[in-house]
Amino acid sequence: MTWPFENDTSGIVKRISNRSISANRKRNIFIVLTIALASALLSAIVLYGFGVMQETQKRNQKTAQIMYHAISEQQGQELYKQEEIAWVGEFFNAFSEQVNHSTVNFTYANA
């Protein structure tokens, strides 16, 4: 019921509330999008960190921990027999060459 001294503001209130809901909807979509992008970024950083750690561990498993140089064949066979040594690599100098007052050494290694 509307009294003669009252204003009928129901249309204006309805329009303002619809705009408010629309603005809140846009804001909520923006917030959800921001949270999704932030979580994707953080998970990418964490996964990259774990990947680097795994790569380093795998590379260290394939790398020799110690190298022996200029050992005899008998000493090499004794190294092959030890249980503490997982694998033995080979290392030898192929040849050396003098180039412009510098010596270049060519070496083969599978360690």
- Write out the chain's pLDDT in tens, 111 residues: 556 667 777 888 888 888 888 778 888 899 999 999 999 999 999 999 999 999 988 887 777 667 777 788 888 888 888 888 777 777 777 888 888 888 888 887 776
Which tokens go with 86? 């997982």
Element counts in the chain: helices (H) and strands (E)? 2, 2
State how far the Cα of 104 lies from the Cα of 95, in Å rounded to an integer.
Answer: 9
Per the domain annotation, does 33 fall within a domain?
Answer: yes
Number of domains in the chain: 2
**Residue 31, domain extent:** 8-63
Do 32 and 17 belong together in one domain? yes
How far is it, in rounded angstroms, from Cα 42 to Cα 94? 49
